[in-house]
Amino acid sequence: MRRAFLLGLGLAGCAPAAPPPEGQLVVHVTTDAPLPAAPGQPLPVVPALFDRLELALYEPGAVSPCDDCRREVAVDHELVDSGRASFGSVAPPGKSGYRLRVRLYRNAGTIAGTPRPASTIETMVDLPAVREGVVDHVTVMLRTDDVGKPPGPPTAALPGRPPEGWVGSFPGATRVPCAGAPPAGMACVPGGAFWMGDPTLDTTDSSEYDGRLERLVVVSPFFVDVSEVTVAAFRKSGLATSLFPGGPSDNPHVPGPGFEHCRYTESAGELEGHPVNCTSWDKARAYCESLGNSLPSEAQLEYLQSALGRGPFVWGTEAPACPDAVFDREPGAACAAAGTGPAAVGSGVRDRLELDSVTVVDLAGNLSEWASDQWNRETEACWGTGVFHDPRCETPSAVDPPARVMRGGGWHTSPPLMRAALRARLANETQAVSHAVGFRCVRQP
């Protein structure tokens, strides 16, 4: 309005010269992490690792942000890469000692919306003094490799605007293809980064289940069996054994009292296309090694079961209906009408993941699966925060009896226990042979 008034005066030929701008900083924030697509843009190939940004300005000597000096905003690739993740800071010219705390964090699924240290990149920077009548640009760069690290002493903000094209350049997050085509019956799982652990799981201080704590995991590409190992495939290996010469097989165990849902039979029958269960961890490993393969790590299994880090189930976020996967099939349970016990591989209509035109099935249900890792609680030595590259736990738990990890849900579980991040343990003993657990194998390209 006042401009219009001045324009009127200007028309009268009396416009004065504009004064120089007020001295200030424009502070930009950028990162090498993959971020969500801007609204309306197609989903990126690589899932976002962070989605919110918190900015807090501290005045000289202050231990908490000044009034109205803290803000949290949703961020996306376009906003940050174009340099618009920025704000203005006006301070008395020449006065130094202003600090800025920047937190880039993962908000997904949280209730309180506050940053969790394990999934936050945090830094404190010293801002340069404002110059009289000058607008200076500075940049704070957040590196994915610093996730989970406690903030060190303040560093200096970099002069200038942020570089373009840096967002999403974190090497670990790049989808890395396999070297070569997958062997028959296997699919290539491209390498990449994902959040292992799910903060929305309520596994309060449990010794049997956990998976609530997050850590950023980088997985190298690998080949994986397209289904859980079948009875037919196991029979072909000739590895089934009995403790008694001429007696019934008990590893894998054949059906019998107490073992009603075991699928392996002494001779080939109707269940050859079912996944083999009632097998010990040692036997499962021996099977994989007999083919030059190995058991998958729990990180590899969670990566797969979360559709390469996209959600709690391979199909997304919603709980399954009975046809979607083989689950809740205990006698009397919600999906028992479809039959009790494991079903033929690939029976779940949505329990499948397409990987370069190859379909991997039964990731959420049918059978829980052995992982190669020793069981460690998520708070123990094998795990922690930061960036993990192809983790595999080889050290027994210091607090729980020796056990191996099993991952994923199965015919016996309800949807809460089918979530990709849920970790469970099972003793590697002969008695631990379970009709709920099967396995699949992996191979390094």
Partner 1 sequence: MFRRLSVIVLVGAFSASADVRAESPPADAGVEQARALFRKGSELAADARWNEALAEFERSALLRPHAATSYNIGICQRALGRYTRAQQLFARALGEGADGDLPPSILADIEGYLKETEAAVVRLNVRLQPADATISVDGAPLEVLSASPARLRAGTTQPGRGRRAPAERFALTLDPGTHVFVLSRRGFADVIVRHSFKSGEQRDLDLALEKLPSTLHVTSTEPRSAVSIDGVDVGLAPVALSRPAGSYRIAVRKQGFLPYEVSARARAGERVEVPARLQRDEPALTQRWWFWTAAGVVVAGVALGTYAATRPEPDRPAVDGGGLGWAIRAR
Cis omega before residue 21 (within 30°)? no
Joined together, the tokens standing for residue 431 give 């008695």
* 232-239 long-range contacts, CB within 8 A, separation 24+: 232/268, 232/272, 232/273, 233/276, 234/264, 234/276, 234/279, 234/287, 235/264, 235/268, 235/272, 237/287, 237/290, 237/291, 239/283, 239/286, 239/287, 239/290
With binding defined as CB under 8 A, does residue 233 bind partner 1?
no
Whichever of 112 and 179 has its CB closer to partner 1, that residue is 112
With binding defined as CB under 8 A, does residue 220 bind partner 1?
no
Whichever of 45 and 66 has its CB closer to partner 1, that residue is 66
With binding defined as CB under 8 A, does residue 436 bind partner 1?
yes
With binding defined as CB under 8 A, does residue 4 bind partner 1?
yes
CB of 102 to partner 1, least distance (A): 13
Binding-site member from 44, 83, 117, 221 for partner 1 (CB under 8 A): 83
338-to-334, 335, 343 alpha-carbon distances in Å: 9, 6, 9
Q: In 3-state terms, what secondary structure has residue 201?
A: coil
CA-CA-CA-CA torsion sign (235, 238, 244, 246): positive
Do the Cβ atoms of 142 and 237 come closer than 8 Å? no
CB of 417 to partner 1, least distance (A): 8
- Choose the stretch contacting partner 1; rule: CB under 8 A; options: 5-13, 180-188, 279-287, 289-297: 5-13
CB of 12 to partner 1, least distance (A): 4
Whichever of 52 and 285 has its CB closer to partner 1, that residue is 52
With binding defined as CB under 8 A, does residue 82 bind partner 1?
yes
- Choose the stretch contacting partner 1; rule: CB under 8 A; options: 180-188, 295-303, 384-392, 429-437: 429-437
- State which of positions 87-116 bind partner 1 (CB under 8 A): 87-92, 98, 107, 109-111, 113
CB of 200 to partner 1, least distance (A): 8
With binding defined as CB under 8 A, does residue 280 bind partner 1?
no
Place of tokens 């401009």: 3
Strands 99-105 and 120-126 come out as antiparallel
Task: Tell me the site size for partner 1, rule CB under 8 A.
Answer: 82
CB of 431 to partner 1, least distance (A): 5
- State which of positions 156-215 bind partner 1 (CB under 8 A): 201-209
Do the Cβ atoms of 156 and 126 come closer than 8 Å? yes
- Choose the stretch contacting partner 1; rule: CB under 8 A; options: 174-182, 190-198, 299-307, 414-422: 414-422
- Choose the stretch contacting partner 1; rule: CB under 8 A; options: 24-32, 187-195, 213-221, 352-360: 24-32
Q: Residue 176 pairs with which residues in a beta bridge?
A: 191
Neighbouring residues of 184: CB distance < 8 A, sequence distance ≥ 6: none
Whichever of 114 and 290 has its CB closer to partner 1, that residue is 114
Neighbouring C-beta atoms of residue 166, cutoff 10 Å: 17
Binding-site member from 37, 72, 174, 396 for partner 1 (CB under 8 A): 72
With binding defined as CB under 8 A, does residue 278 bind partner 1?
no
Neighbouring C-beta atoms of residue 188, cutoff 10 Å: 20
CA-CA-CA-CA torsion sign (253, 256, 262, 264): positive
What Rg do the C-alpha atoms of the chain give, in angstroms? 28
* 392-397 long-range contacts, CB within 8 A, separation 24+: 392/297, 392/299, 393/298
Name which of 62, 54, 74 is nearest 122 in CA terms. Answer: 54
- Choose the stretch contacting partner 1; rule: CB under 8 A; options: 61-69, 166-174, 228-236, 285-293: 61-69
Q: Residue 230 pairs with which residues in a beta bridge?
A: 275
CB of 227 to partner 1, least distance (A): 23
Tell me how long the chain is: 445
Letters for 28-57 (x = contact with partner 1 by CB under 8 A, - = none) are: x----------x------------x----x
Binding-site member from 43, 45, 66, 268 for partner 1 (CB under 8 A): 66
Binding-site member from 35, 79, 229, 442 for partner 1 (CB under 8 A): 79
Whichever of 244 and 292 has its CB closer to partner 1, that residue is 244
Name which of 388, 411, 330 is nearest 214 in CA terms. Answer: 388
- State which of positions 346-385 bind partner 1 (CB under 8 A): none
Binding-site member from 20, 150, 180, 292 for partner 1 (CB under 8 A): 20
- Choose the stretch contacting partner 1; rule: CB under 8 A; options: 180-188, 218-226, 308-316, 325-333: 325-333
Distance CA 211, CA 263 (A): 30
